[in-house]
Chain A
Amino acid sequence: MALDRQLEILAVCGVGMGSSLMLKMTAEDALRSLGVDARVENTDVSTARGMSPDVVIGQGMHTGEIADLAPVVITISDFLDKEGLEAQLRERLTEQGWLS
């Protein structure tokens, strides 16, 4: 891939320890299928504001608040939809030149 390091990916939710952990698992599965070398962390929206990942993933009610946090912000509605997230990741990472 075009990036010479691990991608830093952040899964966010309101409390930062339940739903976002589920999302982290889904994202890890999707990234594995895509063959992307990435580190996925999960946290709450407030903590996320102090971080600078490559990609943020969360529900629209949260990603709207942190739209300028990362070059790629992905909005999902289903935390368990691996195929849907994989499709979004494929498209957005390719746009960035991080996935060929």
Chain B
Amino acid sequence: MTARSEGAATGAAAPGAIVAAADGATAGDWRDAVRAAASALVAAGAAGEGYPEACVRVVEENGPYIVLTKGLALVHARPEEGGLAVGVGVTRLAAPVEFGHPDNDPVDLLLAFCTPDPDAHVGTLSGLARALSGGLADRLRAASGEDDLARILKEALPNA
């Protein structure tokens, strides 16, 4: 689980979860945005090459339910679609996109996660839920850049 990517994503190896961040991502539509968010996990070594498209299919098949709350989407797919480790990524878009969600559009912030099996991520994601209830999204929106995004996300997660 050593992953350190160059360019658009910063990855950090950790005993619990790999954390990735991408700032100022440009996306023409929600598919691009989902791909960008999931690609940060691929770049960090937490997910395989096919994961971004699998994440797009989740929304195509199930609707834009991954837009959990105003402006925030939780990008993910099933473990067998390419989850190599528990990974959590944050992507901040240069300009928000519409997912077609009845209440929570437009989306400017995407969290993405992947997991190697159906249980490995539960602790990490529970921590993420707790952090989101405690204002994590606002702290991420106020981040000064990519490194700051990664730092804030990492601080919010147990074992990351």
Contact = CB atoms under 8 A, between A and B. Distances in A.
A68 interface: no
Interface stretch (B41-49, B115-123, B152-160): B115-123
Interface in B57-110: 58, 61-66, 68-70, 74, 76-79, 101-104
Contacts of B51: none
A17 B129 contact: no
A17 B63 contact: no
A73 interface: no
Contact of A18 (B70, B74, B130): B74
B103 to A, nearest CB: 4
Interface string A55-72: 000111110000000000
Contacts of B104: 77-78
Contact of B69 (A15, A17, A18, A81): A81
A21 B122 contact: yes
B78 A19 contact: no
A80 B77 CA distance: 20
Interface string A12-30: 0111011101100110010
Closest 3 CB pairs of A and B: A14-B62, A77-B103, A25-B129
Interface of A: 13-15, 17-19, 21-22, 25-26, 29, 45, 58-62, 77-82
